[in-house]
A and B are shown apart, each in its own frame.
Chain A
């Protein structure tokens, strides 16, 4: 069965540093998403991406965040200057024409 993959599984960074989280969506999917889950809390929508542009974003997704599909296979989330409160699990998801959304295993980001 096809699956969404994410790298790294765990990223530790210092406050103020830039991080890039990577995702490889399912190959024929066209819609891509990032979600965030602060430890022990609910999963929150960050951004959706279609046709090489952001289609929707939440209040969390401020100017510190950006997304990109640089090469037709990867889908990345960049945080320009990380804050302590950015520590969370970040999930990538992709969706095809059937409507089913597949989640990746997540990247745990720890900002120290």
Chain B
């Protein structure tokens, strides 16, 4: 069975500071890893993915994530947070032909 853990329900950062949202996963086989953002009463917005290749993946809105196979992690990062980044963030994992399994989500709050 595959699983995703987002150990922090809430992450608070000040605007302009770097942010990290943590994600670890468990899967049999090569993982496909994803980050999505969700604003209140809205759908899932794709941020970035790792399928193969460079461990550092760059995505939308200045976000990036680093795939670490030995630590089975895929943490989301941004060098300088904006107030508009405040939202709910989901990490997801799947194998090639499978369903996606989502983490519980992390609420990011960026304060001015």
Using CB atoms and an 8 Å cutoff, list the residues of chain A in contact with chain B.
31, 33, 35, 41-45, 48, 56, 89, 91, 93, 99-106, 108
Q: How far is the CA of A31 from the CA of B94 in the complex (A)?
A: 14
Assess whether A43 is in contact with B102, with CB atoms less than 8 Å apart: yes
- Not counting A43-B44, A102-B46, A103-B44, a sample of 12 additional A-B residue pairs whose C-beta atoms are within 8 angstroms of each other reads A35-B102, A41-B104, A42-B102, A42-B104, A43-B100, A91-B44, A99-B97, A103-B36, A103-B43, A103-B46, A104-B43, A106-B42
For the complex, what is the distance from the CA of A102 to the CA of B49, rounded to whole Å? 12
Residues on the A chain within 8 Å of B97, using CB: 31, 99
- What CA separation (Å) do A42 and B49 show in the bound complex? 19
Residue from A41, A43, A45, A104 having most chain B Cβ neighbours under 10 A: A43
Write the chain A residue with the least CB distance to B94.
A101
Q: Which residue of B49, B101, B102, B103 contacts A100 across the interface (Cβ within 8 Å)?
A: B49
B90 interface hit (Cβ, 8 Å)? yes
Measured between C-beta atoms, what is the minimum distance from B25 to chain A in Å? 14
**Complex Cα gap A104–B90 (Å):** 16
Q: Is the CB of A44 within 8 A of B43?
A: no
Chain A residues with Cβ below 8 Å from B103 are 42
